[in-house]
Amino acid sequence: MSEAHSGEHHHETEPYAALRTKALESLLVEKGLVSSDAIDALVQAYEQDIGPLNGAKVVARAWVDPAYKQRLIVKGTEAIAELGFGGSQGAEIVVLENTPAVHNMVVCTLCSCYPWPVLGLPPTWYKSHAYRARAVIEPRAVLRELGLALDDSVEVRVWDSTADVRYMVLPRRPKGSEGLAEAELASLVSRDSMIGVAEAGPPSGVGQ
């Protein structure tokens, strides 16, 4: 799978990319084109606001609209673009549906490839060596440590992201959410549930 990592996003170029980003930021600030505060605000928006909220809207739409869900599973990038999200510079987004029998989990073993148009910036743990190494070797143990205990009967599939293909998990719709509207459903969808290290949360007041 590692061969799929190619071009500019190869893991060996990651420190270079970080350096380059810093250099560009310094230049922009120095030229008075942007302020550091503006950049910090942008980063924060991608981590907390723009980011996972987009994915949550995609998931909620899929839960209420079977035809949309079908399109999402077959052609993720296009279905996501229908809701106005995209711009991943050529990277394709593949959506993996969790079922009672199959649980999907996403990692980038070599660096930190991530479906940022739907999830924003990756959390620190996603980029950690421990997660990247262990997710493929002992996914069940990693999931357990992150608080997700899966029944032995559930098959765990681990997907290794690349520069060309980014994965997003479509979590299962929580029990007790039958009567909820799309916007309320979206609020149940955490970032972690779309990486596949958690379930979508139950509606408040409903135990699982």
> What residues make contact with Fe ion under the rule CB under 5 A?
108, 111, 113
108 vs 119 by CB, closer to Fe ion: 108
| Residue 163 tokens, joined | 């520069």
| Annotated catalytic residue, options 6, 35, 36, 112 | 112
Q: How far is the CB of 113 from Fe ion (least distance, A)?
A: 3
| Residue 191 tokens, joined | 């970032």
111 is catalytic: yes
Q: How far is the CB of 152 from Fe ion (least distance, A)?
A: 30
- Residue 185: closest CA among 200, 198, 163, 195: 200
3 vs 178 by CB, closer to Fe ion: 3
| Annotated catalytic residue, options 35, 36, 88, 108 | 108
Q: How far is the CB of 16 from Fe ion (least distance, A)?
A: 14
Residue with tokens 């990651």, as numbered in its chain: 14
58 vs 113 by CB, closer to Fe ion: 113
Cα 143 to Cα 150: distance, rounded to the nearest angstrom:
8
193 is catalytic: no
| Exposure string over 13-33, b if 16+ CB within 10 A, otherwise e | eeeeeeeeeeeeeeeeeeeee
Q: What residues act catalytically?
A: 108, 111-113
